[in-house]
Amino acid sequence: MRRRGRGERTPLNAEINVVSLIDVMMLLMIIFMITAPMMQGGVDVSLPKAEARPLNSKSALVISVTRDGSIYADEVKLSLSEFRGSFKSLAAQTGREGVYLRADQGVPYGRVVEVLAIMRAAGVGNIGLVAEPEDVAK
């Protein structure tokens, strides 16, 4: 075996070792497969049951009213006065496909009417009320 002298350079290795890159890619894929179902976020609302068709549009603005009367625009909590002041601009930015109202079945009817009145006053005409489909046992 010949020793290198002082002035000799080592030959360059022009090959890329992709085995370690594949290992990292597979690890990331497994992590995303495990965490993706957990990232299904949203506001926890117990919807009333009714004969309802499935929703088609996913890009619409979703307004949620929880059992304690809290209002959420998508996942951002707002007070009634904040909702009144900011809903028109929210609907103009993200509500092009319409606005969906998800209200918990335990929310007082008056609170839902207040939220609907604010939405109508902002000029939004395409408002959908979200409900769970009924369990039809035949």
Q: How confident is the model at residue 29 (pLDDT cuts 50, 70, 90)?
A: very high
Residue type, 67: R
Residue that wins the pLDDT comparison between 121 and 16: 121
Architecture of domain 49-133: 2-Layer Sandwich (3.30)
β partners of residue 127: 99
Q: How confident is the model at residue 52 (pLDDT cuts 50, 70, 90)?
A: low
Determine the pLDDT at residue 138.
Answer: 45
- The dihedral over CA atoms of 129, 44, 42, 58, expressed in degrees to the nearest 10, equals -20
Residue carrying structure tokens 């000799």: 8
Tokens of 28: 């990331």
pTM over 0.95: no
Tell me: pLDDT of 103 over 80.
yes
